[in-house]
Amino acid sequence: MNVKICGITTLDDALAAVEAGGDMLGFNFYPPSPRYIEPAACTLMVAALRARGASTTMVGVFVNMPPGRVAAILDECGLDLAQLSGDEPPSDLMMLGERAFKGIRPGDAAEAVALAARYVVRIAPPVLLVDASAGAGQFGGTGQIGDWDAAAAAAVHPILLAGGLRPENVAAAIAAVKPWGVDVASGVESSPGRKDAAKMRAFVRAARFG
């Protein structure tokens, strides 16, 4: 089971996430988020991780940012992938090609199927992130548990499952949805934007071993 630990804001948290067994680290470039990180700070962090031999996949999280700027930040920071978590059209994904996948927030199974049909353009996994449905202007990171039936409808594709996951519920979520991987942010934090090393270790263990 692949594990993405998202909303990394410090090098100490990034190192602890890698040590815990995280396969992917997420860096949030959406300014209203409590997990926002400046591109310059991310660049230094990713360089430090690579210098320590980290082979972890580095993911930038973007909300309604022009694809040209997304590509520039990927290059500047040395990131592997972009996660588009706003209201971006499929054309933004097409412009970024294999460098990007879409975050969706379906309200039910039918909407999940429709959104997957619209946004699955990437070949390599993950092809989607499925998050909890939220109100207008909410783009993830709320801690709200998603609709696992809706996520399961999209999981015919290799998806990352997000939305209110914690060490206590991630095994049940995996059993219900059967995703390619899981994504966690608030569920392994001591406070918004600051990770808890013990919670990250517990989350990875639960995701992989139940």
3-state secondary structure of 199: helix
Cα 117 to the center of its chain, rounded Å: 20
Rounded Cα gap, residues 208 and 1, in angstroms = 6
Q: Per the structure block, which two tokens stand in for 137?
A: 């202007």
- The one catalytic residue in 6, 42, 77, 147 is 6
| Separation in Å, CA 79 to CA 74, 152, 180, 189 | 5, 29, 21, 23
Q: How many C-beta atoms surround the C-beta of residue 190 within 10 A?
A: 12
Among this protein's residues, is 6 annotated catalytic? Answer: yes
Among this protein's residues, is 131 annotated catalytic? Answer: yes
Q: What angle do CA 41, 46, 51 make, to 5 degrees?
A: 130
Residue partners of 93: CB distance under 8 A and separation at least 6: 84, 100, 101, 102, 119, 121, 122
Q: What angle do CA 102, 46, 181 make, to 5 degrees?
A: 40
Q: How many C-beta atoms surround the C-beta of residue 130 within 10 A?
A: 32
Among residues 5, 7, 43, which one has the least CA distance to residue 28?
A: 7
- The one catalytic residue in 92, 131, 147, 183 is 131
Q: Which residues are catalytically annotated?
A: 6, 131
